[in-house]
Chain A
């Protein structure tokens, strides 16, 4: 089976712009979670999607949003980018919400200038 894929792998944006990141989970996996990783804060949970519905949300402002499609692929969007949004954005998939093992994708490295 192919692993979790994320596109694009690298992205450079300027302050005030918006960005959309994409995540394709492992085939058959229905839960997708998003995390932000920075040197200062480590890995922080953004949100989880299952069956096209957001099930959990972390402590991030409303500028961070996401969605999930019927094929379980997920996108996250960040509007009005700030310098502090520069980070590695990771998504992780699991078979369902009760399965404990999450598989992480390679991440999207976002740089905001």
Chain B
């Protein structure tokens, strides 16, 4: 089957670091995505991991462990504008552009 889980909500303080976890179970896997979605807007691409390890891109980093079916998104130096939903999704093996999304994690950043 296809299953992907992430926490529903998280809160953090401006300037802090937050880690959003994502676990998945699938018989076919071809990469893990993270998207950011502000309320009422379209999702925007943050990162893509296909190999194990950490990918860093400015204040955002994403980690993948394929053997554990686990990924996380790390946000550093949090800003108020980082308040949004963060969606993890995996690409189905052989499915090209078919993505299976988690329900999303709503992050609230407080002053």
Contact = CB atoms under 8 A, between A and B. Distances in A.
Interface in A71-113: 90, 92, 94, 97-98, 100-107
B97 interface: yes
A48 to B, nearest CB: 5
Main secondary structure, interface of B, reads loop
Contact of A42 (B41, B97, B102): B102
A106 B98 contact: no
Main secondary structure, interface of A, reads strand
- How many B residues touch the partner, as a band? 20 to 34
Given A43-B89, A100-B48, A106 B42 contact: yes
Contacts of B99: 33, 35, 43, 45, 102
Contacts of B48: 100-101
Given A100-B31, A100-B91, A43 B98 contact: no
B7 interface: no
A44 interface: yes
A110 to B, nearest CB: 15
A58 interface: yes
B42 A107 contact: yes
Contacts of B43: 43, 90, 104
Contacts of B18: none
Interface of B: 31, 33, 35, 41-45, 48, 50, 87, 89, 91-92, 95-104
Given A92-B97, A100-B91, 5 more contacts: A56-B97, A90-B43, A100-B48, A104-B35, A104-B43
